[in-house]
């Protein structure tokens, strides 16, 4: 599982980005997205396009954590979102690892709404890494988001930080990395 | 309808048409006569996408024809009951672009009429320059019936249709094409791809043509290429046992006045087509209408003789006869009243590739390639076809539907029928349990021939399917969808998977086409499930990629035309098509465009700012542009790109800059590449004569290139930390930090 985490300011400007991989189950914490290295803009593209859904979901969902809101089937990328009171939004893109699997036929019979990509495998569906929409994943993302939110509030209260500025505090970055390592 | 791209279709004959109905139908395409001759036919269609809906006042009855048939003219159409036609299609106006597609899909499922002509008739027609004989002569005119056609549906209300048509097929080819029904899988899809490629090649070749300019505001326009793709896909499937759209509804049996023994010949032709070795395969229902035509040679034969013969024919064969008066000499372009023969709209991919429709690209018009006809011949043929359809084919179909509905369907719907089905299903016995007892799954009806994989045409299952198809072709979608719905479980019981898939597919299509079901909420989950089932059966159980693709493509287009949340479902299915790898590289890009179009057609709910899918549509457009560029079609790429800019215009800031730097870099690079390649493709001619005819707004593009510098001017705005005012936080982060790579960490 590879993750791409972004905080967007209310004007949709990214104020914090980080890409990391899973540390669970022997993961080394390095992101391996399915796009070639030259196409890393795709992550941002997908996140940007999911703002459409986010804008809709924020009015229909009561919580701050909106859970899984959007999917980009061609790359099997899943987006979870979290709202903050100041209008900043946390968006987490997670992408299961690409495992070539000749045995499983195309995902026709499986759940259609998620547009399961034909060449992904879900392996054992109990772990976070393999089931991006399962309740365990959802819970883990919630924990992660909450922890990041705490750090974000503390960072935003710093007298040197103005709203909308890019967050370049190394402390914040370390905390996000730690939260990622802990939960995802 | 006559496709506007077909250069100059039937001109209304000046001497014959005092305010006829055909004038009205022609006015749909106001810009038909644009002087862009070099544009390919298909591409020209784009500009007519926004054609106004035709006035309803067009009348049917009077047609400028020299009808030789002494029968009273169309009894029914003389009293057009326009009662329900105001219901026309509630979609009109709301989704301008999708109306085209709906009409295209509706017309794709037209009744098939087989043509079986005697040798002397074919000889006569061949002298006129039609190598394929009588069939080739009348084929283009069958695709549009001039004037309105009034159809009565199962509950007795009538409805007038402007764009009705039939598909003429060669009787001799009908069984054979179906017999050679298993070419290596996917070759038909490959052919479609090839046709697209050819089309693209010829489009790029004709230099400097205006790009298919999609409408800027009414975004969900369909590119002509997509239409071509759909049309190819819909005409790619030959007659098959599991659906009866390709089976003849009627067959035209033609002789000419040159024949020595006319009545005997007619009998012989009938016998040959019914019992002889030329008869249709077993799975075709033999109860189709026979229509007898006497082709009179105006120049060589005596009309009194022919009239006498015609009267004799009527006495022998009943009312389904027609006397068609044609001149036997060949018409050339220099003749006074020459009219170009329109091109067939529904050519199968094979025909496209073998160059049937390619005559138009020949530069030397008037050569053998483009046939011409005399004005009088054209109107005679048109009146013949109109009479055939309005007075014979449609009443016949209405009658069959009524009879079958009465005898077969209502019995099934009734309480005893239900009981029978249930008992068959659960107990494994039933009225017709020939083999049902030991059958796997507990009781299939036994009507399904598991060796040859079809139902015989007189079994209830086959008849119900035929009835549903007839209802569909008569555009009675309500009856069609309920019938498909009814027979779906039967096919599943019998494990007749192709029938099963077909019933699911057509059930979805007819349900989505039904304009009356617009208001009543169709459950999208039902539709999704049926599409899923249908394409699973096609793809996995039958390995029929062509039909699977057709099923998915129809679902995409029709769901898209529904609007609302159905568009997201449409986009999902379009992505699924790409996922399955059903399409080749060009088809892949086309479906990317379709995804963009689906998202773009989702409008915000009730004036709110949210609910649209502009960003998603924009992303798919950009990606499609990138793919077009990679495929070497910079003109299409720039069209896509331009579209993306329009889509993003709403969601981005006024200066059109993406908030995310990596996207911005990518888009800038892409824009540059598109521009360079586009100019190269046009041989730098745009430099010589800059802004005059450059349709792509490259000026606008170059202006945007240096827009990045302006970003800095936004910096100074002071940001508020007091977060009470959420709307007011417009400040951007300072850009003057040297490193932009914070997202790489």
When CB atoms are compared, the residue of B578, B653, B721 closest to A163 is B721
pLDDT (tens digit per residue) in A42-55: 888 999 999 888 88
Diameter of chain B measured on Cα atoms: 101
* B101: pLDDT strictly greater than 80: yes
User: In Å, what is the CA distance from B409 to each residue of B208, B433, B458, B465, B467?
Assistant: 58, 19, 14, 10, 9
Distance (Å, rounded) from C-alpha B37 to C-alpha B7?
Answer: 8
**Structure tokens of B739?**
């490193």
Contact B324/B294 with Cβ under 8 angstroms? yes
Subunit contact B540:A108, Cβ cutoff 8 A: yes
Biggest CA–CA distance in chain A, Å, is 57
Residue A152 to chain B, least CA–CA distance (Å):
14
Reference A140, options A10, A8, A25, A15; nearest CA is A25
Is residue A157 within 8 A of residue A116, CB to CB? The reply is no
* A18 neighbourhood in chain B, CB within 8 Å: 743, 745
Banded model confidence at residue B398, pLDDT cuts 50, 70, 90:
very high
- Contact assignment for A52 to B613 by CB distance below 8 Å: yes
Closest chain B residue to A161, measured at CA: B721
B284 CA to centre of own chain? 24
pLDDT given for residue B259 in this prediction: 85
Look at B421 and B277; give whichever has higher pLDDT. Answer: B277
pLDDT, tens digit, for every residue of A117-146? Answer: 334 434 444 455 567 788 888 899 999 999
Q: Which residues of A touch B575 (CB under 8 A)?
A: 73-74, 115
Average pLDDT over residues A142-159: 92
Give the pLDDT confidence score for residue B555 in this predicted structure: 92
CA–CA separation, B473 vs B314, rounded Å? 28
What number of C-beta contacts closer than 8 Å exist between A and B? Answer: 131
Interatomic CA distance for residues B725 and B466, integer angstroms: 66
Confidence grade of residue B393 (pLDDT, cut at 50, 70, 90): very high
The Cα of A103 is separated from the nearest Cα of chain B by a number of Å equal to 15
B733 touches A165 (CB < 8 A): yes
HEC string of B266-283?
HHHHHHHHHCCCCCCCCC
Residue ranges of A 62-121 with Cβ closer than 8 A to chain B: 73-74, 85-87, 105-106, 108-109, 112-113, 115, 117-118
Of B575, B719, B734, the CB nearest to A163: B719
In DSSP terms, which residues pair with B112 in a beta bridge? B167, B248
Return the bridge partners of A110, or none: none
Candidates A18, A20, A48, A77: best to mutate against B (most CBs of B within 10 A) is A48
Distance CA B537, CA B453 (A): 14
Determine whether the interchain pair A52/B615 forms a contact, defined as Cβ–Cβ distance below 8 Å.
Answer: yes
Answer whether residue B9 shows pLDDT above 80.
Answer: no
Query: Helices in B603-633 by DSSP H: which ranges?
Result: 614-630
Q: Is the pTM of this model over 0.80?
A: no
Q: Strands of B167-170's sheet, edge to edge?
A: B167-170, B112-117, B248-256, B289-297, B321-326
Q: Which of A50, A52, A74 lies closest to B614 in CB terms?
A: A52
Nearest CA in chain B to A162: B721
Q: Does A15 touch chain B (CB under 8 A)?
A: yes
- A163 has a pLDDT exceeding 90: no
Find the residue in A nearest to B576 (Cα). A115
Output the CA torsion sign for B224, B48, B572, B217: positive
pLDDT band at residue B649 under the 50/70/90 scheme? confident
Q: Cβ contact (<8 Å) for A41 and B665?
A: yes
Note whether A36 contacts B: Cβ–Cβ < 8 A: no
Task: Tell me the H-state helices in B59-186.
Answer: 96-108, 119-127, 134-142, 171-179
Query: Tens digits of per-residue pLDDT, B234-244?
Result: 888 878 888 88
Q: Which residue, among A125, A124, A143, has the nearest Cα to A181 in the 3D structure? A: A143
Q: Please report the ipTM that was assigned to this predicted complex.
A: 0.85
Contact flag A118-B720 (C-beta cutoff 8 Å): no
Q: Higher pLDDT residue, B400 or B738?
A: B400
Helix (H) or strand (E) holding B161: strand B158-161
Structural domains for chain A: 2-183 (3.30.450.70)
Query: How many other C-beta atoms are found inside a 10 Å radius of the C-beta of residue B705?
Result: 12
| CB-CB contact of B743 with A14 (8 Å) | yes
**Nearest residue of chain A to residue B534 (CA atoms):** A108
Contact A118 B580 (CB under 8 A): yes
CA-derived radius of gyration, chain A: 16
Q: Are strands B372-374 and B112-117 parallel, antiparallel or unpaired?
A: unpaired
Nearest CA to B267 out of B325, B313, B304 is that of: B313
Q: What pLDDT score was predicted for residue B355? A: 65
Dihedral angle, C-alpha B590, B592, B598, B601, nearest 10 °: -90
Residue B636 — φ and ψ, nearest 5°? -65, -40
Residues of A in contact with B535 (CB under 8 A): 108
What count of other Cβ atoms lies within 10 Å of the Cβ of residue B308? 11
Q: Are B435 and B358 in contact (CB under 8 A)?
A: no
Q: What is the pLDDT of residues B419-456, one digit of tens each?
A: 655 555 554 444 443 433 333 444 456 778 777 788 88
Among A14, A59, A87, select the one facing B729 at the smallest CB separation.
A87
Instruction: For residue B416, name the pLDDT band (cuts at 50, 70, 90).
Output: low
Contact between residue B717 and residue B732 where contact means Cβ atoms under 8 Å apart: yes
Residue A172's pLDDT is: 94
User: Which residues in chain B have Cβ-Cβ distances shorter than 8 Å to A47?
Assistant: 660
């Amino acid at each position: 599982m590879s993750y791409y985490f972004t905080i967007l300011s209310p004007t949709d400007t990214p104020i914090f980005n980080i890409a990391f991989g899973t540390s669970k189950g022997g993961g080394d914490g390095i992101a391996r997205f399915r796009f070639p290295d030259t196409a890393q803009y795709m992550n941002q593209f997908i996140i940007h396009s999911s703002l459409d859904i986010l804008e809709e979901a924020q009015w229909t969902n009561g919580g701050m954590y909106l859970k899984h809101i959007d999917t980009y089937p061609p790359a099997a990328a899943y987006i979870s979102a979290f709202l903050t009171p100041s209008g900043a939004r946390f968006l987490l893109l997670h992408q299961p690892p690409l495992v070539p699997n000749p045995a499983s036929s195309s995902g026709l019979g499986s759940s259609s709404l998620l547009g399961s990509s034909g060449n992904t495998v879900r392996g054992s569906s109990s772990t976070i890494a393999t089931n991006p929409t399962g309740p365990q994943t959802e819970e883990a993302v919630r924990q992660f988001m909450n922890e990041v939110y705490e750090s974000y509030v503390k960072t935003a209260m710093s007298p040197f930080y103005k709203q909308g500025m890019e967050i370049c505090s190394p402390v914040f970055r370390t905390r996000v990395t730690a939260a990622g390592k802990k939960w995802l | 309808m006559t496709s506007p791209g077909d250069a100059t279709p039937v001109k209304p004959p000046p001497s014959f048409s005092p305010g006829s109905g055909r004038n009205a139908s022609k006015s749909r395409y106001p810009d038909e006569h644009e002087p862009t001759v070099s544009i390919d036919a298909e591409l020209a269609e784009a500009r007519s996408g926004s054609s106004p809906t035709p006035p309803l006042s067009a009348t049917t009855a009077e047609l400028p024809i020299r009808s030789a048939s002494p029968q009273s003219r169309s009894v029914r159409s003389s009293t057009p009951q326009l009662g329900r036609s105001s219901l026309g299609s509630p979609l009109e106006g709301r989704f301008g672009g999708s109306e085209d597609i709906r009409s295209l899909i509706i017309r794709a499922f037209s009744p098939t009429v087989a043509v079986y002509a005697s040798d002397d008739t074919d000889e006569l027609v061949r002298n006129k320059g039609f190598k394929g004989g009588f069939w080739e002569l009348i084929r283009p005119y069958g695709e549009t019936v001039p004037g309105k056609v009034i159809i009565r549906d199962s509950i007795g209300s009538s409805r007038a249709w402007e764009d009705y048509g039939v598909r003429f097929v060669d009787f001799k080819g009908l069984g054979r094409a179906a017999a050679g029904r298993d070419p290596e899988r996917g070759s038909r899809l490959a052919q479609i791809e090839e046709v697209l490629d050819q089309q693209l090649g010829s489009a790029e070749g004709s230099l400097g043509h205006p790009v298919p300019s999609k409408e800027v505001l009414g975004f969900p326009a369909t590119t002509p290429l997509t239409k071509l793709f759909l049309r190819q896909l819909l005409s790619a499937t030959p007659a098959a046992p599991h659906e009866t759209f390709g089976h003849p509804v009627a067959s035209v049996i033609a002789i000419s006045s040159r024949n020595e023994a006319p009545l005997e010949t007619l009998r012989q032709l009938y016998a040959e087509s019914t019992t002889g070795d030329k008869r249709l395969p077993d799975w075709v229902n033999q109860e189709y209408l026979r229509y007898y035509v006497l082709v009179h040679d105006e120049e060589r034969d005596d009309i009194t003789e022919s009239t006498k013969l015609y009267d004799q024919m009527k006495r022998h064969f009943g009312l389904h006869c027609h006397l068609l008066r044609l001149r036997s000499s060949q018409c050339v372009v220099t003749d006074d009243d020459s009219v170009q023969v329109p091109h067939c709209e529904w050519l199968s991919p094979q025909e496209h590739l073998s160059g049937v429709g390619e005559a138009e690209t020949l530069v030397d018009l008037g050569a053998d390639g483009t046939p011409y006809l005399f004005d009088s011949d054209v109107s005679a043929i048109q009146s013949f076809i109109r009479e055939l359809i309005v007075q014979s084919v449609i009443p016949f179909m209405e009658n069959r539907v009524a009879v079958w509905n009465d005898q077969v369907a209502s019995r099934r719907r009734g309480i005893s029928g239900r009981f029978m089905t249930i008992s068959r299903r659960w107990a494994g016995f039933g009225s017709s349990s020939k083999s049902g007892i030991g059958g796997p799954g507990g009781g299939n009806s036994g009507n399904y021939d598991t060796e040859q994989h079809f139902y015989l045409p007189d079994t209830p299952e086959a008849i119900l399917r035929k009835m549903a198809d007839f209802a569909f072709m008569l555009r009675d979608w309500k009856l069609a969808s309920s019938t498909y719905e009814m027979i779906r479980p039967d096919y599943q019981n019998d494990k007749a998977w192709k029938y099963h898939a077909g019933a699911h597919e057509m059930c979805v299509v007819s349900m989505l086409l039904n304009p009356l079901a617009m208001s009543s909420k169709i459950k999208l989950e039902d539709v999704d499930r049926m599409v899923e089932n249908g394409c699973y059966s096609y793809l996995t159980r039958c390995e029929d990629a062509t039909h699977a693709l057709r099923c998915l493509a129809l679902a995409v287009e029709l769901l898209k035309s529904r609007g609302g949340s159905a568009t997201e479902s449409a986009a999902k299915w379009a992505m699924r098509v790409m996922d399955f790898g059903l399409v080749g590289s060009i088809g892949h890009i086309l479906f990317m465009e379709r995804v963009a179009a689906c998202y773009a057609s989702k409008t915000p709910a009730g004036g709110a700012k949210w609910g649209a899918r502009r960003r998603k549509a924009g992303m798919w457009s950009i990606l499609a542009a990138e793919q077009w560029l990679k495929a070497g079609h910079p003109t299409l790429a720039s069209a896509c790109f331009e579209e993306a800019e329009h889509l993003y215009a709403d969601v981005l800031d006024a200066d059109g800059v993406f908030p995310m730097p990596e996207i911005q870099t990518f888009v800038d690079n892409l824009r540059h590449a598109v521009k360079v390649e586009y100019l190269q493709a046009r041989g730098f001619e745009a430099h010589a004569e800059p802004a005059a005819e450059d349709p792509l707004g490259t000026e606008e593009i170059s202006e945007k290139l240096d827009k990045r510098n302006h970003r800095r001017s936004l910096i100074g705005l002071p940001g508020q930390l007091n977060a009470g005012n959420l709307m007011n936080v417009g400040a951007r982060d300072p850009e003057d930090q040297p490193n932009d790579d914070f997202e790489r960490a």
